[in-house]
Amino acid sequence: MKLLRTRADLSDWQSARAGIPRVLVPTMGALHRGHTSLFDQARNEAGKDGDVIATIFVNPVQFAPHEDFDAYPRPLEADLEKCEARGVSAVFAPDVSEVYAADRSIMVSESRLSTALCGASRPGHFDGVCTVVAKLFNLTRPDVAIFGEKDYQQLALIRRLVRDLDFPVRILAGPTVRDDDGLALSSRNTYLSPGQRAEAPILARSLREVAAGIASGAVGSPSEARQEFLDRFAAASLARLDYFEIVDAGTLEPLGSFSGRVPRLIAAAFFGKTRLIDNVGLPHD
């Protein structure tokens, strides 16, 4: 496995591997089983003769000033060991100066899918995501890129980015990986206190139970589903709900009814200062 720290390193590696299929898995590091499942998916997609390239880059422009950019974990050596163990061909792990010019003045903005949900709670976040993903596509030139479903809004935005800006990249989704108690794996789970960690699975459980009610017909409308979720989530004494929405799985538009639409249930909540996100489709979606 090659470690590439500069644009020049990346360019040299690409020249030596010209014509070989390439699958990209972008990450911010602090890797866990959710990430390694994406590496496995990427290796399967690339085949034994293709290349899997992972990026490890904590992107400053997607963090607000009050967020955890400085505190975000950066265990690079451990991350590299995980990459190599999962068949990653190369890791591009640049410094900020390799990605952004000091006098940069252009960002990639999205004006429809990014305004609600996490976009409402984190203004500017998705402009930072779209900008860095566009740059990583241009720098690594993959045939395929894989993003996890845990951040469902981000996945929808990346698909729109590729469509609207004509990137020649096929986007694949990786299923959310969970602990045994249902909590979606996240690098930020390490911020949770023992009490918060014990309570955190209520987010996934509430989503899953409401989704089951919709699928069975016991919950007949989005307004009923909202109340059902709020009633269930109210049992969390250490949490504060940020949002809960039922949206069209393709457009992210809020649903007024379930007729003829494929719903996705999406939520975010604070456990102390730690903000967790999760989403589910209906059973068997």
Catalytic (active-site) positions: 35
Instruction: For residues 211 and 281, give the distance between their C-alpha atoms in angstroms, rounded to a whole number.
Output: 7
Going by C-alpha positions, the residue among 4, 18, 14 that lies closest to residue 92 is: 4
Helix (H) / strand (E) element for 159: namely helix 152-165
List all residues 6 or more positions away from 118 whose beta carbon is below 8 Å from its beta carbon: 125, 126, 151, 153, 154, 268, 277
β-strands 239-248, 263-271: how paired? antiparallel
Burial class for 267, CB neighbours closer than 10 Å (0-12, 13-18, 19+): buried
Contact 184, 278 (CB under 8 A): yes
Query: Could you tell me how far CA 168 lies from the centroid of its own chain?
Result: 21
What kind and span of H or E run contains 4?
A: strand 2-4
* 47 token code pair: 């085949």
Q: How far apart are CA 226 and CA 244, in angstroms?
A: 7
User: Residue 61 and residue 102: Cα distance in Å, rounded?
Assistant: 12
List beta partners, residue 173.
147
Distances (CA, A) of 43 to 3, 39, 47, 74, 81: 17, 6, 6, 24, 16
